[in-house]
Structures are given as C-alpha cells and as structure tokens.
C-alpha cells in the first residue's frame, strides 16, 4: 500500500482460514494491511490437515500448458493467477516455511515428509509474527455495507452476535465438501441474497453409485481394481480414457481413476440419467491374446481357475465380471474376451457433495473483476474453492486455492491504494443486512 503516514493501516477482514484465506492474509500483511482472519471453526486449516493424511499433494510438476489445461473451461480465468504463483513459486514458498518438497514418480509434488501439519504450523507462526490476528469460532452470518464502501460484518460467536468493521473483505469460505471441517457452503445464500451469481455447488473428485448385488457389495467392498483402463464417450462424442486404479465400495466405485473422470461422469448422469464406463480389466493384453488364452482347453478346471492360470484374472476383477455381464457371455471365448476388455459398468448417481474431495460450482467469474473483487460489491474479494472452477486431484486444487488467495490479497491492496489516492469518495454500494 502507499505510505499514508497520517492514517492507520487499513483493517482488512479475511473470512475463512483455509489455504486460500491464509494466503490472502499473508499477501495483505506483507503489503502493510492490518489483517483480522475469522473462521467459524475452533481452529483454521482443518481441510488442509486432512489433505495431508493421505500425503499432501501440493502441486504438480508437469509442463505449464498441461498444468493449466487441468482447469478445463476455467483455465483462462485461472491462468493469470497461476502464472503469478505457479508450481515453482509454490515450492519456493513452502521452502520458505522450512518445508522441502519432492516430485513423485507421477510428477505430483509433495512435502518431503508428506504431511500438512508442519507446513501449517510454520505458516501460522509466520502469519502471527506478521501481525495477523486470528478470530476462531466466528461464523460470518451477514453484513451491512456502508455508503463509504466499508463493510460491517456480523459474526455468530460463542459470546453472541458481534459486529466488526472492515475497509475491505476477502471471502475464502471453501466449497461444500466435508462440511464437518468447516466449509459447508452456507455462504451461497448470503451471496445470492446480495445478487451475486453463484453456480450450484456439486460434487467433484467424487465416487459414484452403481447399485451392486448384495454379494458384490458384502464380499468385495474395499477391494482395489488395478491396473484398469476406464473409458467413456460423452454426449458430445468426446472419448475419455485413462489408466489407473479404483476401489469397489458398498454401492459403487471410488478412487483416483474415478475422481479423474468424475466431472464428465457427473455431468453425463445429470443430463442423461446414467453414464456407462467401459473397463479394460487386462490393459496389458490385447483382445486377440485374451481370446486365444480363453480358448485353450481347460479340461476339468473351473472357469475361475482357467481365468487365473491363463490370464491372472481373479478376485474382485472376476467378481466384477460376473456382476456386469450376462452368464451366457461366459460360454464363448470371444464374448468373454470382449467383456474382459470392455466391461460396461452403468453409474447411476454421483455420491453426495459432503463425501466428495472438492466442489464444482461457486461464485461465477463473470461476477468478479481481474483482481477477484465482486463487481457489485466493491471492496469484497473472493478466493479459493468457493470460486466456480474445478480440477482433478493431483495438487491442482491447492495450487489454485493458494494462487487465488494471493491474487485476492494483492487485489485488496491495489484497490485500497486506488481508494486512498482517489480524491473521490468510494462508490456507494449500500446493501441491506443479509443475515
């Protein structure tokens, strides 16, 4: 911010203490603002900590064009933010917190110890040292906008409702998945009441229901299917095809391969009522080889032992085969081979948002300017998963949350500068209390 020696630094509220809000607070305090960070939960960064449980995938090391393409239809909006704070900058930032990173065999980037807790601990310590004041158990529940552009924010706290003034606000309230960690999507109604377009929150990186027989559900829930290639052709005729692994659940499928295809599967189910995935259970064998192995005489051996000895096909893969193909297909090597190489599995529903890794939907980019400020509410900025973008797992989620948090923090600083250097009073954007 410009030097305004006669006036105290602007007081900025950051609401939401996930990676996006913490990064906004960091940019703001580094730029000279006084930052109050509010969070509804008793502590901040809960989803970040959970993300660290399975190995914190901070970002990805693939070439920039490929990296950007992971944000699909929103890559144009996110590219400037990611150009300003991309994977290399993110790794350097982590190093600044004493957290070294490494590139895994898949190109994904992790902290050396795979954990989130040391990074979060060091980050919070640095933020507190920089003067950021944390107010936990403060649920933002409404606001009154003054004619001077400042905002009076209403918080539900253990001591009752409290009001605080802020010269500018960063909302970093997260999406709607895993609501017990704090991001419950209840903010959508508050913004919609203020006339802000919000795309409905939907599950992303989620599992799907198939509706297994009791046999498969009871005997094979939790079993991994790997390696496998999953493919589908969407309504636009585009083929999606990936190799990886997934897990059978009591009602369907989940896991990295399914998450990677989840956006198209979810949208296909929404528009057509179901989506059919074709699974190649033996990606290392071509169809001719599978058929010729199946056609070999099996003597007195059962079909199960024949499948196991000739093709190493057993357990959950064979159970899946029995579940999804008619018994008549097992009689002929050609039809059984075709089923093994392209097993149709009909998905009927995405699992609910609260079980998903992340959310699609949120504040529409059209409502934001290039600084991530809401055009209709000058002085109010948005960042993180609450914006309307989605991406697969692979470090892309945290990358965009951190980049957008930083952009929003810098955006506030630039906006405040404009306000102070302008002789005019700020735009009157008075809105009623919306709690």
Ligand X SMILES: Cc1cc2nc3c(=O)[nH]c(=O)nc-3n(C[C@H](O)[C@H](O)[C@H](O)COP(=O)(O)OP(=O)(O)OC[C@H]3O[C@@H](n4cnc5c(N)ncnc54)[C@H](O)[C@@H]3O)c2cc1C
CB of 193 to ligand X, least distance (A): 14
Q: Rule CB under 6 A: is residue 198 a binding residue for ligand X?
A: no
Only segment of 33-41, 125-133, 230-238, 269-277 that touches ligand X (CB under 6 A): 33-41
DSSP 10: P
Contacting ligand X within 126-145 (CB under 6 A)? 139-140
Measured from the CB atom, is 46 or 266 closer to ligand X? 46
Residue selected from 57, 151, 249, 419 as contacting ligand X according to rule CB under 6 A: 57
Only segment of 12-20, 207-215, 287-295, 407-415 that touches ligand X (CB under 6 A): 12-20
> For the residues of 300-335, what is the DSSP string, one character each?
T--HHHHHHHHH---HHHHHHHHHHS-GGGGGSHHH
Only segment of 11-19, 29-37, 120-128, 304-312 that touches ligand X (CB under 6 A): 11-19
Residue selected from 10, 12, 14, 17 as contacting ligand X according to rule CB under 6 A: 17
Q: Rule CB under 6 A: is residue 18 a binding residue for ligand X?
A: yes
Q: Rule CB under 6 A: is residue 101 a binding residue for ligand X?
A: no
Give the span between the Cα atoms of 208 and 362, in whole angstroms.
Answer: 22
Give the span between the Cα atoms of 369 and 411, in whole angstroms.
Answer: 10
Q: Give the length of the chain.
A: 435
Measured from the CB atom, is 196 or 339 closer to ligand X? 196
CB of 44 to ligand X, least distance (A): 6
CB 58 within 8 A of CB 101: yes
Closest listed residue to residue 282, CA positions, set 328, 344, 212, 337 = 337
Q: Rule CB under 6 A: is residue 262 a binding residue for ligand X?
A: no
Residue selected from 168, 349, 401, 408 as contacting ligand X according to rule CB under 6 A: 401
Write out 179-229 in H/E/C secondary structure.
HHHCCCCCHHHHHHHCCCCEEEEEEECCCEECCCCHHHHHHHCCCEEEEEE
Residue selected from 384, 392, 409, 426 as contacting ligand X according to rule CB under 6 A: 384
Buried b (16+ CB within 10 A) or exposed e, 263-279: bbbbbbbeeeeebebeb
Q: Rule CB under 6 A: is residue 357 a binding residue for ligand X?
A: yes
Token readout for 5 is 């020696």
CB 84 within 8 A of CB 372: no
CB of 194 to ligand X, least distance (A): 14
Residue selected from 10, 12, 13, 16 as contacting ligand X according to rule CB under 6 A: 16
The SS3 call for residue 14 is strand
CB of 399 to ligand X, least distance (A): 6
Give the span between the Cα atoms of 191 and 187, in whole angstroms.
Answer: 6
Long-range CB pairs of 375-378 (<8 Å, 24+ gap) are 376/194, 376/195, 376/196, 376/429, 377/145, 377/194, 377/196, 377/429, 377/431, 378/149, 378/415, 378/426, 378/427, 378/429
CB of 138 to ligand X, least distance (A): 6
Helices (H) and strands (E) in the chain, counts: 15, 20
Q: Rule CB under 6 A: is residue 39 a binding residue for ligand X?
A: yes
Residue selected from 33, 44, 403, 410 as contacting ligand X according to rule CB under 6 A: 44
CB of 173 to ligand X, least distance (A): 4
Q: Rule CB under 6 A: is residue 21 a binding residue for ligand X?
A: yes
Q: Rule CB under 6 A: is residue 26 a binding residue for ligand X?
A: no
Q: Rule CB under 6 A: is residue 254 a binding residue for ligand X?
A: no
Q: Which residues bind ligand X (CB under 6 A)?
A: 15-21, 38-41, 44, 46-48, 50-51, 56-57, 139-140, 172-174, 177-178, 182-183, 187, 357-358, 384-385, 395, 397-398, 401
């Amino acid at each position: 911010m410009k030097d305004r020696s006669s006036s105290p630094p602007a007081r900025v509220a950051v609401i939401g203490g996930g990676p996006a809000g913490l990064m906004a607070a960091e940019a703001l305090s580094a730029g000279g603002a006084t930052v109050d960070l509010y969070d509804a939960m008793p502590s901040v960064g809960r989803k970040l900590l959970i993300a660290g449980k399975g190995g914190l995938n901070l970002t990805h090391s693939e070439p920039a064009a490929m990296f950007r393409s992971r944000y699909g239809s929103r890559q144009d909006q996110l590219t400037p933010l990611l150009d300003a704070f991309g994977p290399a900058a993110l790794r350097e930032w982590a190093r600044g917190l004493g957290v070294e990173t490494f590139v895994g065999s898949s190109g994904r980037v992790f902290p050396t110890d795979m954990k989130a807790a040391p990074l979060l601990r060091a980050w919070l310590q640095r933020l507190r040292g920089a003067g950021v004041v944390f107010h936990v158990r403060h649920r933002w529940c409404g606001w009154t906008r003054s004619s001077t552009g400042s905002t009076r924010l209403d918080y539900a706290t253990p001591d009752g409702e409290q009001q605080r003034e802020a010269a500018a606000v960063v909302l970093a309230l997260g999406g709607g998945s895993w609501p017990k960690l704090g991001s419950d999507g209840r903010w959508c109604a508050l913004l919609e009441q203020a006339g802000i377009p919000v795309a409905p929150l939907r599950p992303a990186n989620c599992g799907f229901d198939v509706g297994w027989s009791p046999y498969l559900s009871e005997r094979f829930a939790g079993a991994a299917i790997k390696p496998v290639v999953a493919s589908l052709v969407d309504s636009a005729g585009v083929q999606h095809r990936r190799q990886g692994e997934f897990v059978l659940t009591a009602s369907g499928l989940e896991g990295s391969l399914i998450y990677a295809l989840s956006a198209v599967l979810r949208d296909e189910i929404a528009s057509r009522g179901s989506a059919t995935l074709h699974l190649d259970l033996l990606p290392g064998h071509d169809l001719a080889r599978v058929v010729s192995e199946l056609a070999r005489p099996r003597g007195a051996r059962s079909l199960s032992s024949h499948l196991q000895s000739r093709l190493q096909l057993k357990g959950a893969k064979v159970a899946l085969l029995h579940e999804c193909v008619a018994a008549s297909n097992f009689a002929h090597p050609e039809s059984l081979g075709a089923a093994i190489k392209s097993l149709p599995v009909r998905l009927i529903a995405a699992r609910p948002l609260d079980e998903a890794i992340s959310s699609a939907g949120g504040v529409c980019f059209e409502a934001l300017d290039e600084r991530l400020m809401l055009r209709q509410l000058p002085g109010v900025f948005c960042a993180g998963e609450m914006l309307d973008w989605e991406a697969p797992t692979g470090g892309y989620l945290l990358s965009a949350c951190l980049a957008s948090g930083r952009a929003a923090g810098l955006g506030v600083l630039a906006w405040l500068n404009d306000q102070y250097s302008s002789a005019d009073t700020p735009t009157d954007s008075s809105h009623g209390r919306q709690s």
